[in-house]
Amino acid sequence: MPELHPTFPQGDARNAIVEAALAVFAAKGFHGAGTRQIAQAAGVSQPLLNHHFGGKEALWRVIGEQITADFMAFMAGAVDLALPPGDGVTAMLRAYLAFWKARPLSFRFNLWRRLDGLQDERASRSEEMTRPVVAFMQRAQDAGFIRNDLPPGLAAIMGGALVQFWLDSQLEIRAALAVTGDEGLADEDAIGHIVRLLRAPS
Amino acid sequence: MPELHPTFPQGDARNAIVEAALAVFAAKGFHGAGTRQIAQAAGVSQPLLNHHFGGKEALWRVIGEQITADFMAFMAGAVDLALPPGDGVTAMLRAYLAFWKARPLSFRFNLWRRLDGLQDERASRSEEMTRPVVAFMQRAQDAGFIRNDLPPGLAAIMGGALVQFWLDSQLEIRAALAVTGDEGLADEDAIGHIVRLLRAPS
DNA sequence: GTGTTGACTGATCAAATGATCAGCAGTAGG
DNA sequence: CCTACTGCTGATCATTTGATCAGTCAACAC
């Protein structure tokens, strides 16, 4: 089952290359991944990769854009403005977590991308990704659900950061919990804790 | 001014290599960095790098361990068990932020390391790094300063995660704040917000 | 049939990689 | 003076890198 939405309906080899490249890039990053390894994982010859994408860097960029597009589409469907603020915030964080949890390779690819990527690309991307979320958070804040002692943009992005952290650092989290003998937490518990941090004190 | 504590008192070239390697590794990661580029930045010949460290990978490991050691030493001096819980938590987060803020190269190196590094290395490292912090957080929780509706380990590590996020994502934070016309925040404001999230409701 | 187009591959290229080796200079010990 | 050792370098190694090129093959148009 492919992690990425197919780029071309019938482009068999092409999609195979994209999926294989995603896996290799996610594991070793841009510089660590070799075109031959990608080609082998895709079951095609190495020149074919250049034939379809024009080069390793272009392939990298195609994958990155595909992930962003998938994410935007998913979130657009998950953010429901009709929901009451409380449920809405929870649903949003839950969707965010579910999306990446279902796409571990894309998640790791994005981690690499953040280190490699150029600054301006990063800024514009985050701008477009956070805008709707911030607006939603402000609404929840106005409704008295989210604490109002911090800017809505910060509340929104901190929620995202904590979910990101939850996804990224299971190892560290488990270690920290073990210090006091606590056991691991389920995803739903994590969402609950994060929402509670952001809630207005009742 | 070197970012790393000198490894050898008089090892002139050796320390130059370490500093140069830190810079190049931080910029491009392990696979993106070339030994020739490191040598050139250090003002020495490329074979000298092998002569002193035995290889690129060993050099990478030396730097990583040096950063961890510096961090541990710094935090040990910054965590003051005599402080009242509230001030102690604030001081701890402030120290954490100050340490990495003063060492942007080391910070970025560590980001790379987290992606490259082997899992077991990661686990043991985080284990040893978080243990004292968790213990401290539990004390602050018992004293009623930190909210008690989440495990102390989670409180400790979430505080760290938010500071980390603050350091790592200035770009995204600025973008999110701009959506509602808010301007940037000072470090001290960030610390304040983070502590407030973790505080017990009064 | 012929011609054309596009997907695809094996062979190969120039460049860059990390590592190695022989040797140079300086210095300390005898 | 000789030896030994250490810090250091230029030259060079084998390997791997991403990219290119010529050419095969099948599908399709006419």
Tell me if B181 is assigned to some domain: yes
Tell me if A128 is assigned to some domain: yes
Contact list, A197 vs chain B (CB under 8 Å)? 158, 197-198
- The model's confidence at residue A191, banded by pLDDT at 50, 70 and 90, is very high
Tell me if A84 is assigned to some domain: yes
Tell me if B13 is assigned to some domain: no
Strand D and B51 CB separated by under 7 Å: yes
Strand C and B116 CB separated by under 7 Å: no
- Can you give the CATH number for the domain in which A132 is found? 1.10.357.10
Tell me if B143 is assigned to some domain: yes
Written as one string, the DSSP assignment of A84-109 is -HHHHHHHHHHHHHHHHHT-HHHHHH
Question: 3-state DSSP call for residue B171?
Answer: helix
Residue A96 has what pLDDT?
A: 94
Distance C6 C1' – A58 CA (angstroms): 20
Residues with Cβ within 8 Å of residue A179, at least 6 apart in sequence: B130, B131, B134, B135, B152, B153
Tell me if A86 is assigned to some domain: yes
Whether the predicted pLDDT of A119 surpasses 70: no
Tell me if B49 is assigned to some domain: no
Residue A9 has what pLDDT?
A: 57
Domain count, chain A: 1
Q: Exposure pattern of A80-105 as b/e (b: 16+ CB <10 Å)?
A: eeeeebeebbbebbbbbbebbeebeb
Please give the mean pLDDT across all residues of chain A. 91
Tell me if A33 is assigned to some domain: yes
pLDDT per residue as tens digits for the range B36-60: 999 999 999 999 999 999 999 999 9
CA closest to C1' of C10 belongs to: A45
Question: Across residues A124-145, what is the average pLDDT?
Answer: 86
Q: Angle, to 10 degrees, between the axis of helix A46-53 and the axis of helix A35-42?
A: 100
- The model's confidence at residue A118, banded by pLDDT at 50, 70 and 90, is low
- Can you give the CATH number for the domain in which B160 is found? 1.10.357
Q: Are the beta carbons of A122 and B28 separated by less than 8 Å? A: no
Residue A76 has what pLDDT?
A: 87
pLDDT per residue as tens digits for the range B89-107: 999 999 999 999 999 999 9
Q: Which residues numbered 34-63 in chain A sit less than 7 A from strand C, measured from CB?
A: 44-48, 51-52
Question: Across residues A156-185, what is the average pLDDT?
Answer: 93
Q: Give the percent of chain A with pLDDT over 70.
A: 95
Nearest DNA or RNA nucleotide to B59 (CA to C1'):
C18
Between residues B118 and B29, the one the model is more confident about: B29
Q: Are the beta carbons of B154 and A177 separated by less than 8 Å? A: yes
pLDDT per residue as tens digits for the range B144-181: 999 999 999 999 999 999 999 999 999 899 999 998 99
Nearest Cα of chain B lies from the Cα of A92 at a distance, in angstroms, of: 16
Q: Are the beta carbons of A157 and B180 separated by less than 8 Å? A: no
Question: What's the pTM?
Answer: 0.92
Q: Are the beta carbons of B175 and A116 separated by less than 8 Å? A: no
Q: Give the percent of chain B with pLDDT over 90.
A: 72
Q: Give the domain extent around A109.
A: 12-198
